[in-house]
Amino acid sequence: MFPVSIVLIRTLIALEKLFVAKSTFGLSPTSGMFSVGFVLFALVYIVIDFPARPYIFGHELTHALFGLATGARVWRFRVKEENGSVKVSKGNVIVLLGPYFFPIYMVALLIVFGLISLVVPMVDTVAGRIFTGLVGIAWGFHFCFTLNAMLQHQSDFEAYGFFFSFSFILLLNLLVLILVFVALSPVTCGKMWRLGCEKMVDTLWWFWDAGWDFLTG
């Protein structure tokens, strides 16, 4: 999954380069406002003791939603100040690791963005850029709390091991970022797909070339 993660990183960089005009800290309007929102929340998270309860609620709710989506029964949903728990009748990799790659509050904002876009244009507008900043704040919330959770002992990683879990979470988070970029910017899904395929071929060829050189000395 690491080569594919590198492909997604290169695709994000290529998407950013599609914008000729840079306006926010040398970035495109979408990336710039998203980054501002992300940095603002990260600073708040570092400076103050931000309450964990909203994250814990979203974390356990995501477990429950993915459980329901895969046909499991959910019971005993508990959220406390420092921890929470939810019981599902059956689990899988999506149910266990869902909260670490599915930023539920950011997805809620994107749904609102999409609904508003059905009525008035949002992409490449002042309102759209402000909304992009809010999405960046939501991503900062997800990133900071998820990183903190992963640095602690998590029973969610025991079933599949930390190495696989980390690789899976990294891959899915990068995919989410690409989809967010497409949703908030003028870049189309078709353009994103073509860039992704190009970077996939380039990256896998590089891995093959480097591996062959290593084996043949």
Instruction: Please write the tens of the pLDDT for every residue from 175-205.
Output: 899 888 888 887 777 777 777 777 777 777 7
The per-residue pLDDT for range 49-98, each reduced to its tens digit, is 888 899 999 999 999 999 988 888 888 888 887 778 888 888 788 888 99
- Burial (CB count within 10 angstroms: exposed 0-12, middle 13-18, buried 19+), residue 15: buried
pLDDT of the residue at 197: 77
Rounded to an integer, the average pLDDT of 131-141 is 94
- Burial (CB count within 10 angstroms: exposed 0-12, middle 13-18, buried 19+), residue 59: buried
CA 189/CA 199 separation, integer angstroms: 15
The more confident residue out of 119 and 84 is 119
- CA-CA-CA-CA torsion sign (147, 153, 157, 161): positive
Token pair, residue 199, equals: 């970077």
pTM: 0.85
- pLDDT averaged over every residue in the chain: 84
Residue type for 127, please? A
pLDDT of the residue at 214: 65
- Local confidence band at 10 (pLDDT 50, 70, 90 cut-offs): confident
Token pair, residue 120, equals: 């008035």
The more confident residue out of 135 and 124 is 135
Q: What phi, psi does 165 have (nearest 5°)? A: -60, -45
Minimum mean pLDDT among 2-6, 145-149, 169-173: which range? 2-6
Residue type for 142, please? H
CA geometry: angle 75, 77, 78, nearest 5 deg: 145
φ/ψ bin of 79: left (φ > 0), alpha (ψ from -120 to 50), beta (otherwise): beta
